[in-house]
Amino acid sequence: MTTLNKKHYHHGDLTKSLLESASAIIKDHGVESLSMRKLADIVGVSRTAPYHHFKDKNALLCALAEEGFYEQGKILGRLRAEQNTAQESFKKYVNAYLEYALQHSEIYDLMYGRTLWKAGNPSDSLKAASKHTFKSWIEWVEELQHQKILPNNNTPLRIGQTTWASLHGLARLFIDGIYLDKADLSEMIEQMIENVCTHTKA
């Protein structure tokens, strides 16, 4: 087990294969149509093989969600690194956040949804990833407050909580199929930004 190379047995890297296939399945058919047995079958392995790589289904989903946090973090981090005005930067962030949420809606649901956080049992590393994401968001909120983009009438935590809640709410309405007409999305985003920012206020 000291070897790093994992090309053993008739399946190169089951852990990875499982995550990839699972990700594809939920992307195409939704998380409720993902079963451990079908997944094993698709990957070409017996029903219980996955259980040697993930404690249970919940653990597999946690791993997927965690991947989501890293990917989302990369996207949003890259964006913040760009040289933009603070205002532009924030605008792009909001757009990118919603784009990610809608394009990876099933992963987003795992990251921030009931399945894992309430009905399920979020793993420690998932909780850590989520906490890290939130923390760095709050730090940026503080910057944005100094730059007068976000309001100063409350702590970074509160402002961060509420503006994130707003984005999240918008994302959810589309993801959950309550709002369907995505043509309206960009206008809603625009309006949401106006609600949440300081300087655009009437």
In 3D space, the residue among 126, 85, 114, 89 whose CA is nearest the CA of residue 176 turns out to be 114
Residues 147, 114: Cα–Cα separation, whole Å: 35
Cβ contacts of residue 70 below 8 Å, gap of 6+? 129
Q: Which of 20, 56, 176, 184 binds DNA (CB under 7 A)?
A: 56
User: Is there binding between residue 170 and a second copy (CB under 8 A)?
Assistant: yes
Count of residues in contact with DNA, rule CB under 7 A: 26
Q: Which of 48, 125, 152, 186 binds a second copy (CB under 8 A)?
A: 152
C-beta of 90 vs 112, nearer to a second copy: 112
User: Is there binding between residue 159 and a second copy (CB under 8 A)?
Assistant: yes
In 3D space, the residue among 86, 113, 61 whose CA is nearest the CA of residue 200 turns out to be 86
- CA-angle at 141, arms to 138 and 146, nearest 5°: 135
User: Is there binding between residue 95 and a second copy (CB under 8 A)?
Assistant: no
Residue with tokens 């979020």: 122
Q: Which of 20, 24, 30, 35 binds DNA (CB under 7 A)?
A: 35
Site string for a second copy, 27-66 (x = CB under 8 A): ---x-x----------------------------------
Tokens of 44: 């070409």
User: Is there binding between residue 121 and DNA (CB under 7 A)?
Assistant: no
Sign of CA dihedral 111, 113, 114, 117: positive
Q: Which of 16, 29, 37, 114 binds DNA (CB under 7 A)?
A: 37
Residues in the site for DNA, rule: CB under 7 A?
A: 1-3, 6, 8-11, 14, 34-38, 40, 45-49, 51-53, 56-58
